[in-house]
Structure formats: C-alpha cells, structure tokens
Amino acid sequence: GEEDAARVIAYLRTRARGEEFVFFAPGSWAQIRDIGRFRRHAADSIGLDFPAAYLEGSIAIHPSVGNMSKIQHCMKGATPKTIDAGFFLSFWESHFKCRLRDETLPVCDPSVGKRTAPCQCYGNESLWDPGSVNLGLNYVYDSVQFVAVALDKIIYRCTDLRTKNFCGLKTVTSYDLLLAVREISYRGETGPIQFSGAPFRRKSTFDIFQYDREGRLRRVGEWDVDGTNILRDNLRFKTGSVPESEIIPDTTNVLRGNMIVVSLFAVNILVVFLLVAIAFFFVYHKDTGVVRRASLSYLVVVDAGLVFVTVSALLWSVGPSSLNCIVKAWFALVGLGMVAAGMCSKAHHALRYYITLGTISSRTPSRSIFLYLAFLCAGEHVLWALYCFAGSTLRLVSAQSVADNTYQYCACQKETPSQDTLLLVLVFAFNIVLFVAPMLVYAFSANLVMPEGESKMSFFMLINMAMVFLLLTPIYLLNDDRKGSLVRGWLIRTVGMFSFVAFTVLVLFVPKIKYIYKEREEGDKEVLDPEAEHVHRRTFGKPGFVSWRVESFEGSH
C-alpha cells in the first residue's frame, strides 16, 4: 500500500546510492492508487517529501483471473495473522467480503456467500475452502515469479541469454532486467508466459499500468495466456530523481549521429530554397505565354504546397517535442491540401470544358484555384484538429523498445492506440481520394494535346503521389518497435516525401522553365488577353453533333 511503499522508497532514498534505483513494482505496489497519500505519509512519518514524479516509470500490475488450484500449496496457512502486509490484508478483505479490525461493524456470517452487507471478520477464513478460490491469485504469484526467473537467468544462467553478455555483471539495471524478461519463456501458474510483444485481439486478463510524471496510472500493456503486448510501446522506465540519461542512454533524437540524417536534413533545406526560387522565377516571368497558359496561381499554390511538405519532413529530423508533433502534422496536411487544390482545380476545369465544349482548357482561373484551396485546406484543418486533439491529445511519447529495451525512441502518438490508428486511416483515406480523383481525369484526357505536355506530366506526378501514399501507409500503421525498422521507417518516410517533391518539380516545373527560356530565345513575346481561355482542340473523328479541330498555341500548322 501507500504507506509501505513510502517506507521502502524512503529507506532506499536515504542510502548512499539509493537515488539510482528505478522501481519495478509487481504485486504489492500495484495497490498504490493514492499518490497524495503516499506523499503525505512520507512527509509526516519520515520527513521526506517526494514529488509525484518520483514514481514515474514504476510498473503496477493488476491481476484479474487465474487458476487458484495450481498455487494453493504456496498459500497454505496464509492468514492476516501470519502475513501482516497491506496488500495481503486488502486482498483478504476484498476476497472474503469483510473488514478486518473494525469493531463498529457486526460479525460476519461464516458463509462468505451470505455476506451481502459490510461486516467484521477476524481472519479465520481459509483459502483452502472450496468456495474461496480466487482466480486472481495466480497472477499475483506470476507477476513476481517472472522477475525472479529473469534474475535467476542473469545471475546463474547468464549464458542462456542472447541479447547481452550478462556474465560477470556487478550491477543489474532496469533495462538489464527487461532484456532478460524479454527472453524468458516458461509455463507459469496462469499458463504460458512469453514476453514476445506480439499483439492480440482478445480482452486482456492481466493489465500492466505505469505511473506518469503526475503520479497517475496509465495502462501501458496487457498480459494474456497468449503472451504479453506492450501497447504501442508505451512502456518506459524513469524515476523523477534520476536523470533519464543515467538509466537509458540519451536517445531523445533516435537518429542522432546518423550521417544520412544530416545529409537528408541538408538536402531538404536546399529543396526549400530551390522551391522558393522557382516560385519567384514564375512570378518574374508571369507575362510569358508558358506561365499564362498554366496559370500563375496554379504554379505558386502547388509550389507552396511542396514547401510545406518539405518543412514537415525537416521537422521529423529535429529534436522532438509535443508541439513539434502538432506542427509537423499541420505542415504536412496543409501542404498536401495545397498541392491537391492545384491538381483538382485544373482537373475539374479541364473536365468541365471537355464535357460541355469537347475541348481541354489549359488555363485555370485563379478564382477556381483559390476556391479549391479554401475548401480542401479547410478539410485538411478539420482532419488536423481531429488527429491532434480528438479524444486524447497528440503528444510526444518517450518509449522503450520491447525488442531491445536498451533502446529508447520518441514517437508522436495518442494515448489510445486504436484511436490513433483510426484517425490515421481517416487522414490517409481523405488525401488519397484527393489525388486519385484528378489522376483518373488526367488518365482519361492524357491523349489530348495540352501545352508543355501538362496533362500527361500531371498524370505521372499523381501516379507517383499515389505510390508514395501506398508506401507510407504501412509504415505509419504497421511499424513495429525495433530500432532497425524505426530507422528504416524514418528513412523511407523522408525519402518518400523527398521523391514526391523532386518528381513533381521535374515533371511539372522543369518543362515549363525550359519552355520559358526557349520562348525567350525565339523572341516570342506573345502577350495574351488576360480574360482569354487558352484552349486546345483535337479532332477525334465525327461524333455527329460536334466538330473538333486542333488549334496551336504557337500558330496554325
């Protein structure tokens, strides 16, 4: 209970090296629910005031069901008179529906089944009684036993462990213990015990909680007969009085020191400057035929969207924080909304002209682009608000890997994994639709003549974007917690964003830049009527009610 925990922690804290302890708390400490009471007892009785953060990282294990018959021999003769421990007395009162040492209550009925009102008992009941089997006691036993098995391997059978050379260790840290726990596999009283981290869908029969900095218990894992699952790898070990770097190597940025990270970071910065330069280039040449045919608004909006996407990729490489989690999600979604606004507005304009006039319009009015921009960015902002703030807030989670508990990483996620996954699926679904819809339009019109091959190039760009989405989706939704796959996931995500930006620049902007210089070399200074719609028409035979013909932008053929 709270008082026992305060006494034990105070004792360890006053020892010479007691501040280095990290508390792995199976069994009894699972009952520490009232952190305020724990602190008050420490202050009143011991004279030490512990902050709530002192228990941060401690594990609390809450058993629920089990097979009592397998460990009854361990509890033979156990009564409140022989075991004067807070957690055991609480278990006794809960199990036998009575209150110990409460003279204000009437004496309980000998039959536990008939105890329907608060009553007083004297600890004379027996755990061997047929009606007194408690299915949770096995888990209390196993929650301590699996730690004992891990320590036994570290001390006496160190050669059985593969993840680290445990032989000859003089001290055992919390992550040493977790590494050993990760490897143990045996049949406990509750069934097979294997900390494989494999997820399962059935309701857990054993919950793993952990204290956060405010002293609140948060569910971080579950334990069933099929194995253990640490939920989205929320498990972490940290005591408030010990710097995290002393417990786990400083890995706030999990990719620190990786040269490819530095290289990609530098490349993305150069890409931002390049995109800004391209935007100024188009603005400077806004009166050329190439820019007028494509629409300056379209070019600038798409270019700005690429800048936002690149900045989001940059933020994945800097020191993480909860604010960074929210900001980089905003940059990514707004950037995708801007690119999609340009592509969708041009595709819609082209489709409208094709259906009504049998022609393809190459120039999209600014009004149409900004209407799409307002509508799609509003939708992206709604998704961003849902993803960041719906239910639990999107925040930075500093977690230890189940696969390698010496390795810690930071992830932006919600406290509820199912909610995190559902919202991510919603975000991906919305954005993939925004790129698939114009892609179908451009696929339908790819054989039509458009200036600078814009229809065909737009189709290729959207195909690339769809491939990037299909590549990134499994990384976001199925990424596991091993260090190698996390690094690979970061690299694929960053390279995917970079490839999207680079490919878009190559197929949409580079041809236009080339034609602008070609136009200047040929001395073609055609100034087009700002109200005119530039239309390409192509004969497809005789549809019967419309005759189509080809008109060239450069002159008649």
- pLDDT band (50, 70, 90) for residue 188: low
CA-wise closest residue to 207 among 181, 238, 231, 233: 231
pLDDT of residue 163: 72
| Distance separating alpha carbons of residues 361 and 166, to the nearest angstrom | 72
Taking the mean position of all CA atoms in its chain, how far away is CA 32? 29
Place of tokens 């799409």: 372
- pLDDT band (50, 70, 90) for residue 127: low
| Distance separating alpha carbons of residues 272 and 265, to the nearest angstrom | 11
> Domain ranges in the chain?
2-67+135-247, 259-536
Asked if the model's pLDDT at residue 120 lies above 80, the reply is: yes
| Distance separating alpha carbons of residues 178 and 150, to the nearest angstrom | 8
CA-wise closest residue to 447 among 322, 334, 360: 360
Tell me the per-residue pLDDT of 295-326, one tens digit each, with 9 for 90 and over. 888 888 889 989 998 888 887 766 556 677 78
Name the DSSP letter for residue 505. Answer: I
* The token pair that represents 401 in the structure block: 């890997």
Tell me the per-residue pLDDT of 246-266, one tens digit each, with 9 for 90 and over. 333 223 333 444 566 667 778
| Distance separating alpha carbons of residues 164 and 432, to the nearest angstrom | 44
Asked if the model's pLDDT at residue 551 lies above 60, the reply is: no
Which has the minimum average pLDDT: 152-166, 227-241, 326-340, 503-517? 227-241
Question: By the 8 A CB rule, do 338 and 377 touch?
Answer: yes
- With a pLDDT cut of 70, the percent of the chain lying above it is 47
pLDDT of residue 552: 32
Q: Which amino acid is at 106?
A: P
CATH 3.20.20.70 fits 259-536, yes or no: no
Most confident of 40-44, 339-343, 456-460: 339-343
CA-wise closest residue to 292 among 512, 126, 538, 69: 512
Place of tokens 């890409």: 271
Asked if the model's pLDDT at residue 340 lies above 80, the reply is: yes
Q: Is the model more confident about 244 or about 222?
A: 222
Tell me the per-residue pLDDT of 499-540, one tens digit each, with 9 for 90 and over. 888 888 888 888 888 888 887 777 644 444 444 444 444 433
Place of tokens 């032989």: 167
- pLDDT band (50, 70, 90) for residue 450: low
| Distance separating alpha carbons of residues 461 and 505, to the nearest angstrom | 9
Asked if the model's pLDDT at residue 132 lies above 50, the reply is: no
| Distance separating alpha carbons of residues 202 and 190, to the nearest angstrom | 16
